[in-house]
A and B are shown apart, each in its own frame.
Chain A
Amino acid sequence: MRVYLDNNATTMVDPKVKEAMDPFFCEIYGNPNSLHDFGTATHPHLRKAMDQLYAGINAADEDDIVITSCATESNNWVIKSVYFDLIENGEKNHVITTEVEHPSVLAAFKWLEKRGVNVTYLPVNSEGIVEAHTVRDFITDKTALVSIMWANNETGMIFPVEEIANICAQKGVLFHTDAVQAIGKVKVDVQKVKVDYLSFSAHKFHGPKGVGGLYIRSKKELSPLLNGGEQMRGLRSGTLNVPGIVGMGQAMELASYYLEFENDKVRKLRDKLEDALLEIPDTFVVGSKEKRTPNTILISVRGVEGEAMLWDLNRAGIAASTGSACASEDLEANPVMEAIGAEADLAHTAVRLSLSRFTTEEEIDYTIKEFKKAVERLRSISSSYAYKPQQV
């Protein structure tokens, strides 16, 4: 049996999305910028896709949703353009983020740091989130931008973005959120949550890879990073990725449609899996179920190193993930586990299981069985569970 429980890394393209994209490869393939009918034939489809995207996050017509190639691009665009627009000229010199952001946010902030910008990395509490009041404490009159994720990729923990957005608005500081792990899992509404910028990526909600978006609230425009043929009103040049945009629009509509399903059926399966795995002695899950996206579990199994666990699961056909030690080039412990201050012995034991609306109960039952087998085998090898005589 093959079971895909790594949906926070990427998702299967929904067959309905694939179907919606299909005509735009060999039939309606014109360049939307062209004057002729081949080009203009794409326009109604692009407009529909934009409507789907705007509806998906409840954006107002006067706001922008600029299509990018991925959330990494969206995140870099916001952070670097704020640097060029507000910091390079000396007006501001400070930005705020968290210790547990996606690498595309952290690395972009490191880039700013090299240029002399002060970056505050807010610590997270034991549940892995930043409390809104800490943001208020760190904002100064030199703060240009606050960038805090909507939901964490490793733990699924949902951050208090609504409160943070209000604080930023009150203080007159720009607020960006990386909502990559939120769309399709929880309601994302930019009328309710007053963010200035919001990044997302189609392949995290059953759309295609290579297309993402950046929501920009009206009058909060950014300098473009890509200059060229003035597509997207000059905000992001480059020939429009027509099949990608159509696919992302369709995926967004489906994501909204399935939100209830996600919160009910996917959550139930997730909880079933979580409860069963927590029956294994000495296992721990980060964050309470209600405060997490409904599809994610970050579980620590005492005495079992994360990559070893992935190896055994993979042999059983189950795909999971870990940011821990041995799977990465620099052998570092899972950064989120370190940030939440987890017991040191558990820092290398975290395994992430992330479901989707395509996950079946049969797959969950199989995973429970195989997970337990893997723990049993690896603990039989583990020095944490070993005979230790009184040493003379």
Chain B
Amino acid sequence: MAKNDLIGGSIWEEYSQKVQDLMNNPRNKGELTEEDAKKLGGKLIVADYGAESCGDAVRLYWIVDPKTDRILDAKFKSFGCGTAIASSDTMVELCKGKTVDEAVKITNIDVEKAMRDHPDVPAVPPQKMHCSVMAYDVIKKAASIYKGVDMDSFEDEIIVCECARVSLSTIKEVIKLNDLKTVEEITDYTKAGAFCKSCIRPGGHEEREYYLVDILEETRKEMEQERMKEAADASSEGKELAFNDMTTVQKIKTIEKVIDENIRQFLVMDGGNLEIIDVKENGAYTDVYIRYLGACAGCASSTTGTLFAIENTLKEKLDENIRVLPI
């Protein structure tokens, strides 16, 4: 929140001049018929995408030269808001003259960029990126009809966020490399989820196959398993392992070992002892809960000098962020 956010703007103010002009006068609106196809010596393809019940639907007409696969003419019809009309129109403009194989490479991002007035200023506000995705999907639909193949065959990767075109593999990689813990962080790093927000969690504008919340949870689980596996492998191979990379069981064993080797003998000499009750991860800290036994219980030094000695030994031998808490 800041000065510019407090008084809400109108999304219409965020449309580029090009978007506005295309909304008012789309160049490629209309239909193509079998007759038109015959005249040009091509094949008519009509593809539908979306549904009026979802707020946008687009129909794409192509006449394709069957010998060269080149798109000889294209038009569209669209049920949707102005940006859907402008995006569809731009998409058709980009299709014309290309081969079908070239056309399926046009993405929603190409469509949006083509509508910018200035290369660095988005043509539409974030929630309207969704409209350009429709334009992109309908191309794939048309190409799949023309080639008699499945739409998914044009997609090499699983796309989680259609608006920003971010793939599942990218999102998982970014989570792992940067140790991301929240969906907001994923959006900051990848832009996934920044636009229509459908891919963040179920219940948004559009039903999705993958949601960021699930991907995050799953990837965190994978990371945890990988870490445990590495730790287990390392210890079975007898390798030294940093305290922080250990599993909880390994941490407890290690703490136990340090206490046995460095501390317990001094307590026993004075007729006392201690037992480890629990070890808990507490944010950046590892909290070690201990109970004094024998003469140590009730000894004045057990909460001062002795305690500091135990904690300092663990800190020195294992990790700076260990805290010892007597109960």
Measuring CB to CB, which residues of chain A are less than 8 angstroms from any residue of chain B?
303-308, 311, 315, 324-327, 329-333, 344-345, 347-349, 380-389, 391
B85 in contact with A326 (CB, 8 Å) = no
User: What 8 pairs across the A-B complex have the smallest Cβ distances?
Assistant: A344-B53, A325-B55, A326-B81, A307-B81, A383-B77, A386-B77, A331-B205, A383-B59
10 A-B pairs with C-beta separation under 8 A: A305-B55, A307-B82, A326-B81, A326-B128, A348-B52, A348-B53, A348-B55, A385-B77, A386-B59, A387-B31
From known contacts A344-B53, A347-B53, infer whether A391 and B46 are also in contact, taking CB-CB under 8 Å. Answer: yes
CB contact between B31 and one of A307, A331, A386, A391 (< 8 Å): that residue: A386
Given A330-B127, A331-B204, A388-B46, 4 other A-B residues pairs in contact with their CB atoms under 8 A = A305-B56, A326-B83, A382-B79, A386-B59
A387 in contact with B81 (CB, 8 Å) = no
A387 in contact with B29 (CB, 8 Å) = no
> A307: which B residues are within 8 A, CB to CB?
81-82
| Cα of A381 to Cα of B92 in the assembled complex, Å | 14
B1-43: CB near A (< 8 Å → 1, else 0) gives 0000000000110000000000110100101011000000000
> B196: which A residues are within 8 A, CB to CB?
331
Interface of B is mostly: mixed
- Looking at A332, A380, A386, which has the most chain B CB atoms within 10 Å of its CB? A386
B85 in contact with A381 (CB, 8 Å) = yes
B161 within 8 A of A: no
A389 in contact with B80 (CB, 8 Å) = no
CB contact between B26 and one of A381, A383, A385, A388 (< 8 Å): that residue: A381
Residues of B within 8 A of A (CB-CB), count: 39
CB contact between A381 and one of B52, B77, B128 (< 8 Å): that residue: B77
> B23: which A residues are within 8 A, CB to CB?
308, 311
CB contact between A389 and one of B33, B79, B145 (< 8 Å): that residue: B33
Q: Which single residue of chain A is at the shortest CB-CB distance from B58?
A: A383
| Cα of A386 to Cα of B46 in the assembled complex, Å | 11
B55 in contact with A326 (CB, 8 Å) = yes
Q: Which single residue of chain B is at the shortest CB-CB distance from A382?
A: B79
| Cα of A326 to Cα of B11 in the assembled complex, Å | 10
Q: Which single residue of chain B is at the shortest CB-CB distance from A302?
A: B52
B69 within 8 A of A: no
| Cα of A112 to Cα of B29 in the assembled complex, Å | 49
B44 within 8 A of A: yes
> A324: which B residues are within 8 A, CB to CB?
55
CB contact between B79 and one of A329, A332, A344, A383 (< 8 Å): that residue: A383
| Cα of A267 to Cα of B317 in the assembled complex, Å | 85
> B33: which A residues are within 8 A, CB to CB?
387, 389
Interface residues of B in 183-204 (CB under 8 A from A): 196-197, 204
B78 in contact with A382 (CB, 8 Å) = yes
B52 in contact with A384 (CB, 8 Å) = yes
B143 within 8 A of A: no
